[in-house]
Amino acid sequence: MEVQAITKNVRMSAQKMREVVRQIQGMNALQAIAVLGAVPRKSARVVAKTLKSAIANAEHNNNARPE
């Protein structure tokens, strides 16, 4: 099942965001949040916020578990 969350109007380059997103690509959601908590970049905080929103969307809209 695919769940989406979109963050708009973030004043940061796509290249900086992509560096962080590639680190968590392929991980499950809870593992990715743990990794993002250890990354000391502003883009990691933005990606973590978006990921938490996607998890909340999955739980509320699709009755899915966070894993």
Sequence ranges of the domains in the chain: 14-62
DSSP state of 43: H
How confident is the prediction for the chain on average, in pLDDT? 90
What's residue 64's pLDDT?
A: 78
Tokens of 56: 């909340």
Q: Per-residue pLDDT averaged across 57-67, rounded?
A: 79
Quick check: 1 pLDDT over 70? no
Confidence at residue 24, expressed as pLDDT on a 0 to 100 scale: 93
Alpha-carbon distance of 62 to 16, in angstroms, equals: 31
pLDDT band at 4 (very low <50, low <70, confident <90, very high): confident
- Tell me which residue of 34, 25, 38 sits closest to 52, measured CA to CA: 34
Residue 45 to residues 34, 37, 66: CA-CA distances in angstroms? 12, 8, 19
**Residues in the chain, how many?**
67
